[in-house]
A and B are shown apart, each in its own frame.
Chain A
Amino acid sequence: MLTVENLEKRFVAHFLNGKEIVGFRPVSFKVAAGKALGLSGPSGHGKSSVLKCIYRTYLASSGRIAYDSAACGPVDLTVLPQNEILKLRRAEIGYVTQFLSVLPRVPALDVVAEPLTATGVPRAEARESARRLLQRLRIDSRLHDAFPCTFSGGEKQRVNLARAVIRPSRLLLLDEPTASLDPEAMQVALDLLSEMKAEGTTMVAIFHDRSIMDRLMDDIYIMPAKETRL
């Protein structure tokens, strides 16, 4: 489903006179359809950068990312045209970060419903599934019409997670989606993710908590060490 081959990321910092900063050393891994792979390694070894390269927020410096898409067959995500990437993001690749970065001044319900409305689901219907999902994640219904930028860290993270799981994804990239949740909310979040996995979603994930890794992941990839960042 997803094959990463010798993927490498170096940042060229022009403001440091063109100095190269190593994002991560070459990584290679394979994830079969419906399986989950955990990325593991100390901070700064580029776990998040790998996910960003797969999502194309970062441009890979070398290597390839082969992905079997439902819409256009096998593709290399490092060189796929931009509009195709946008199409995949809308339809089949989901990405959850540790931080919620959404538009200000949009009610939580609409933030969560947006991935559905973007694929053509009527607004009322999308809002209804968003409501159910937020309730399940224990977000008080009084907060549904408030702006997420006023939420607490844990609430924001749940909104973020809800956005990702509201529609089925073929490939889900998870960057510590449960880092600031209390144990109860964490349990619900993990249940949601296990359900998605049971429905056949392939996952590449980063969790700092080893017990979650063991519970949810089928395989663990240890990031190659790098001597120094510069």
Chain B
Amino acid sequence: MTPILKVGNLTKRYGKGCPECLERTGPRHETNQCARCRSILACRAVSFELYPGEVLGIVGESGSGKSTIVRMLHFDVEPTAGEFFLRLNGNAAAPIDPAQNLFALSAFRRRQIRNERMGIVYQNARMGLRMKVSAGGNIAERLLMAGCRHVGRMRDRAAELLEQTEVPVQRMDELPRTFSGGMQQRVQIAKALSTRPELLLLDEVTTGLDVSVQARVLDLIRSLQQELGVATIVVSHDLGVIRLLTSRTIVMRHGCIVEEGLSDQILEDPQHPYTQLLVSSTL
């Protein structure tokens, strides 16, 4: 099976950087800040692959670079270095060359790929939704960006998505800021799925929600994932989420991948000291 996503050597540095940055940071030094130039290496030389229909988990403590990876893949954050290849077989208007490093593309083209082929759900609904635009409008915005121009059709699709994500359709024209946290999250999921993405990025989707709402959001994601078979990257520091949703998991620490394996192996037979600590810390 050929991977649909391939990331190589992905690096993000905040700060000027110096020749010693790489040697002075990482899990061995227990920091991601260079002691000499004070630059922060949020993510250093990360490589991984994602296969069709697969759900990949990224776990790690706060500041380990999990979200940075997802934001770079969504072109929200410009990487310092790295390669990003997508092999999608959909029949979108603008096909992607699988041998083309997407980070090297023009901003216009990257936006186009993001809007047509990817969906993202952020931890904070404020990042994913416009709070002053109605729930339906938020979904329509994405459809509009992907080239849809028919208002009636956009409305129908928005209603269909809201129904699928269990948001009351009659509240379609209300502002997301009048919604509860769980509902906002579900509107975000509806928005992310609106263009039938081939790559879904979930960045701490359930953090900060109360457990019953967490359960509903997770059930929703899982059933949609099974139904649509969309390749997904799940970022979380909750091992329960990882156990529930993913088949493979990457463990990150100080910007590096410290362990990578099948999710049940990571949870039952962790190899790296940090992973052992993480697993044994579960309540």
Residues of A within 8 A of B (CB): 11-15, 52, 56-59, 82-83, 85-87, 103-105, 117
Contacts and interface: CB of A to CB of B under 8 A. Distances in A.
Given A15-B277, A103-B244, A82 B262 contact: yes
A59 B247 contact: no
A13 B222 CA distance: 33
A86 B276 CA distance: 23
Given A82-B261, A86-B262, A14 B276 contact: yes
B269 A59 contact: yes
Given A13-B276, A14-B276, A52-B268, A83 B1 contact: yes
Contacts of B262: 56-57, 82, 85-86
Interface string B31-73: 0000000000000000000010010000000000000000000
A66 B215 CA distance: 40
Contact of B265 (A11, A13, A14, A56): A56
Given A58-B265, A82-B248, A86-B247, A12 B280 contact: no
Interface residues of B, number: 22
Nearest to A53: B269
Contacts of A83: 1, 51, 54, 248
A103 B215 CA distance: 11
28 contacts: A11-B269, A12-B271, A13-B276, A14-B272, A14-B276, A14-B277, A15-B276, A15-B280, A52-B268, A52-B269, A56-B265, A57-B262, A57-B269, A58-B268, A58-B269, A59-B261, A59-B265, A59-B269, A82-B248, A82-B261, A82-B262, A83-B1, A83-B51, A83-B54, A85-B262, A87-B1, A103-B222, A103-B244
Nearest to A117: B226
Contacts of A104: 215
Given A57-B262, A86-B262, 12 more contacts: A15-B280, A52-B268, A56-B265, A57-B265, A58-B265, A59-B269, A59-B271, A82-B261, A85-B262, A86-B54, A86-B247, A103-B222
Nearest to B245: A103
A15 B247 CA distance: 26
Contacts of A117: 226
Interface string B1-35: 10000000000000000000000000000000000
Interface in B220-251: 222, 226, 244, 247-248
A187 B204 CA distance: 47
Nearest to A23: B269
Contacts of A87: 1
B194 to A, nearest CB: 24
B273 interface: yes
Given A15-B277, A105-B215, A105-B219, A57 B247 contact: no
Nearest to B261: A82
A15 B215 CA distance: 32
A15 B264 CA distance: 20
Contacts of A59: 261, 265, 269, 271
Contacts of A56: 262, 265
A12 B273 CA distance: 9
A201 to B, nearest CB: 22
**Listed residue (A52, A82, A87) with the most chain B CB atoms within 10 angstroms of its CB:** A82
A86 B52 CA distance: 12
Contacts of B219: 105
A105 B219 CA distance: 8
Contacts of B271: 12, 59
Interface string B198-220: 00000000000000000100010
A14 B51 CA distance: 32
Contacts of B222: 103
Contacts of B215: 104-105
B276 A57 contact: no
Nearest to A16: B276
Nearest to A14: B273
A12 B141 CA distance: 52
**Listed residue (A56, A59, A83) with the most chain B CB atoms within 10 angstroms of its CB:** A83
A228 to B, nearest CB: 21
A8 to B, nearest CB: 14
**Listed residue (B226, B264, B268) with the most chain A CB atoms within 10 angstroms of its CB:** B264
Nearest to B51: A83
A13 B271 CA distance: 9
A218 B189 CA distance: 52
